[in-house]
Amino acid sequence: TLRSHSRNTLIDPSIPEESSSGQEGDHTEETSLSCSVCGKLFTKKRSLLIHEKYHKAERPYSCSECGKCFTSKQNLLAHWYSHTGEQCGKCFTRKQSLLTHQTIHTGERPFSCSECGKGFTEKKSLDKHQMIHTGERPYSCSECGKECGKRFSDKRNLISHQRCHTGEIPYSCSECGKGFPTKGNLNRHQKIHTGERPYSCSECGKGFITKEKLNVHQRAHTGERPYSCSECGKCFRWKFSFDEHKKIHTG
């Protein structure tokens, strides 16, 4: 976790200190260091060394069935259920809830979309997905009794959106205290502190914090220009270039 990384940074003398010369910031976008065990990418050598210690951690709890070892008793118990056929041991009050949950382990997706073929474990998930194809957006935002114009297919997305009106930022970073309106925003931000870059380019190996940033980067290799001007037909690779260009026509 993020706290674990922070704690190791403070007390582990076996990991060398980062240089304070300012070069670290200069190489943030240029260098990708990968873990030799799992392949995860990092921009800082220190972050990589901290991460690799988890692979070398003491594993005192061993499974009597297969001999596999674990760092904690909880992880051993979770693994043990794989031998009993009970998978994860989670309990449910209704049989239908249990059956739905078990599809996570079996990989079964009995509900498929007739438009694109994507499969889902529950019908309600399929129904929610199909709104993408129908364009249905039943949840509308009203700020101070006035429609702001935005509509959503998912109620959770509406709740997240409404925070831009209320100013609510319920998720805060434990490292720097910065606040965020959604958990997803916080998770993306925290990778700045850990140095983790899980999305890597298959062409050049460069690592990125989010898949969106990887997709934007890959246009440099593919030559894709998805932004087209309706006035003159000129195409652009980057949205900021497209926005700047439109000012020529609007004055």
Query: How high is the pLDDT of residue 232?
Result: 92
**Neighbouring-strand partners of residue 227:** 236
Torsion angle of C-alpha atoms 183, 90, 64, 56, degrees rounded to 10: 0
Give exposure, 158-177, as e/b (b: 16+ Cβ within 10 Å).
bebbbeeeeeeeebebeeee
SS3 state at 207 = strand
- How far apart (Å, rounded) are the C-alpha atoms in residues 47 and 192? 11
80 phi and psi angles, rounded to 5 deg: -55, -35
User: Where does residue 248 fall: left (phi above 0), alpha (psi -120 to 50 degrees), or beta otherwise?
Assistant: alpha
Query: How high is the pLDDT of residue 162?
Result: 80
- How far apart (Å, rounded) are the C-alpha atoms in residues 14 and 220? 40
Mean pLDDT in consecutive groups of 10 residues from the start of the chain, 251 residues: 37 47 44 78 80 71 77 69 60 74 75 85 84 81 68 80 82 88 85 84 87 87 89 88 89 70
Torsion angle of C-alpha atoms 246, 249, 250, 251, degrees rounded to 10: 110
- How far apart (Å, rounded) are the C-alpha atoms in residues 48 and 54? 10
Sorted by where each starts, the structural domains of the chain and their CATH numbers stand as: 30-89 (3.30.160.60), 95-134 (3.30.160.60)
